[in-house]
Homo-oligomer: A and B are copies of this chain.
Amino acid sequence: MATIKDVAKLAGVALSTASYALNGDSKVSAKTRTKVLEAASQLNYRKNGFAMDLKRSRTKTIALILTDLSGPYYSELIQSIQDVALARGYDLIACSSMGGRDSTAVKFLRENRADGAIVLAYNISNETLQECASERFPIVVMDREISSNCLINVLVDSELGGYTATRYLIEKGHKTIAYISGPTSSYDNQRRYEGYLRALQEAGLEEKTKWRLSGNFVREGGYRATKMMIMQGELPSAVFYGNDEMAIGGLKAFEESQISVPNHISVIGYDDIQLAEYVNPALTTIRQPKREAGSLAGHLLFQMLDGDEVNPAYKLGIELMERKSVIAAKN
């Protein structure tokens, strides 16, 4: 591998001159510059980015840490973060937290490979996060409530979302409402469930444990949970799925059992993913302001990077998307 030293030698100039020429510094003559550039291309020289970062000791990169690189649901959010980063001349790189202890994510968090991070990965522990956040490495966390020095939260009010969804069902006259849950380790799931409980309680309704099933936030899980509910015999009049994916799985299960949504049973989801308005019936759901959340997270990270004071936590609202999967209960 050719180094800048080789380039300098071949071009017959000093090391520093080569460096200047390669970086387009104005103080090197055009002639010298060409000579250097030529030497470089002749040697197939490639700059070593790490050496540069090491020297400059800042990376102009922010890391976006996701549970799973392939999760398609955060597209708007990523987009908006990316816009902010780009506008500030920073790179955004995404890494997965799969692989636990020695995942790429943890490497980025622990080893100063970026100037800051935005985290949306429930499998990264609070401790790791708190340990890694510092003035030199601010972190914005979007999937839990936790704060610490240089560690702030941007989240969507999931409790309110859960409450709103359930409340809506209740207002439509539903009295028996199931909750299909995500992983209990998920902060969002937990809060949605709390909101559900609050709405129930407020209306003097009781939660029936047989109507709290777990679907792990995935479509297949929603499908299976729903199947199970159907097999139990008695059906609630409405079901609140912890996210749209599970709701879509549920819709399929109902269809297979010839239970019509919304005529026999009402269904509400959570997230408002793209698919939601296309499924049949179009899914009534709670919309999260993903764009706003992403944008806010990006801006806040840069503010911290600039050394500005920022509030430790931000909470965004939600919106009910009324579509076709819920109708008034027939009492």
Question: Which residues of chain A in 69-83 are interfacial with respect to chain B, using CB atoms and an 8 Å cutoff?
Answer: 69-79, 82
State which of B47, B79, B108 has its C-beta within 8 Å of the C-beta of A111: B47
A328 at interface, CB cutoff 8 A: no
B92 touches A49 (CB 8 A): no
Tell me the bound Cα distance from A175 to B68 in angstroms.
Answer: 45
Tell me the bound Cα distance from A46 to B61 in angstroms.
Answer: 17
Which residues from chain A sit less than 8 Å from chain B, CB to CB? 1, 44, 46-54, 59, 61, 64, 68-79, 82, 86, 91-96, 98-99, 103-104, 107-108, 110-113, 132, 134, 136-137, 274-275, 278-280
Q: Which residues of B contact A98 (CB under 8 A)?
A: 82, 86
Given A92-B104, A279-B278, A110 and B70 contact (CB-CB distance below 8 Å): no
Q: Which residue of B lies closest to A109 (CB)?
A: B46
Nearest chain B CB to A93's CB is how many angstroms away?
A: 5
Q: List 26 A-B contacts (CB under 8 A).
A: A1-B112, A44-B134, A46-B110, A46-B132, A47-B110, A47-B112, A48-B112, A49-B110, A50-B53, A50-B113, A52-B111, A64-B69, A68-B79, A69-B79, A69-B92, A70-B79, A72-B72, A72-B73, A72-B274, A82-B96, A91-B95, A91-B103, A92-B96, A92-B104, A93-B104, A275-B275
Tell me the bound Cα distance from A79 to B71 in angstroms.
Answer: 9
Tell me the bound Cα distance from A18 to B245 in angstroms.
Answer: 48
Most chain B Cβ neighbours within 10 Å, of A61, A78, A132, A134: A78
Q: Which residues of B contact A47 (CB under 8 A)?
A: 110-112
Nearest chain B CB to A263's CB is how many angstroms away?
A: 18
State which of B54, B91, B93 has its C-beta within 8 Å of the C-beta of A50: B54
Nearest chain B CB to A213's CB is how many angstroms away?
A: 24
Nearest chain B CB to A95's CB is how many angstroms away?
A: 5
A48 touches B91 (CB 8 A): no
Q: Which residues of B contact A134 (CB under 8 A)?
A: 44, 46
State which of B72, B99, B111, B112 has its C-beta within 8 Å of the C-beta of A75: B72
Q: Which residue of B lies closest to A280 (CB)?
A: B280
* Contacts A50-B113, A69-B92, A70-B75 known; 20 new A-B pairs at CB < 8 A: A1-B112, A1-B136, A46-B112, A46-B132, A50-B111, A68-B79, A68-B82, A69-B78, A69-B82, A70-B76, A70-B77, A70-B78, A72-B72, A91-B95, A91-B107, A92-B96, A92-B104, A94-B95, A274-B275, A275-B278
Tell me the bound Cα distance from A108 to B48 in angstroms.
Answer: 10
Nearest chain B CB to A46's CB is how many angstroms away?
A: 6
B113 touches A49 (CB 8 A): yes
Q: Which residue of B lies closest to A44 (CB)?
A: B134
Tell me the bound Cα distance from A278 to B255 in angstroms.
Answer: 14
Q: Which residue of B lies closest to A1 (CB)?
A: B136
Q: Which residues of B contact A1 (CB under 8 A)?
A: 112, 136
Nearest chain B CB to A138's CB is how many angstroms away?
A: 14
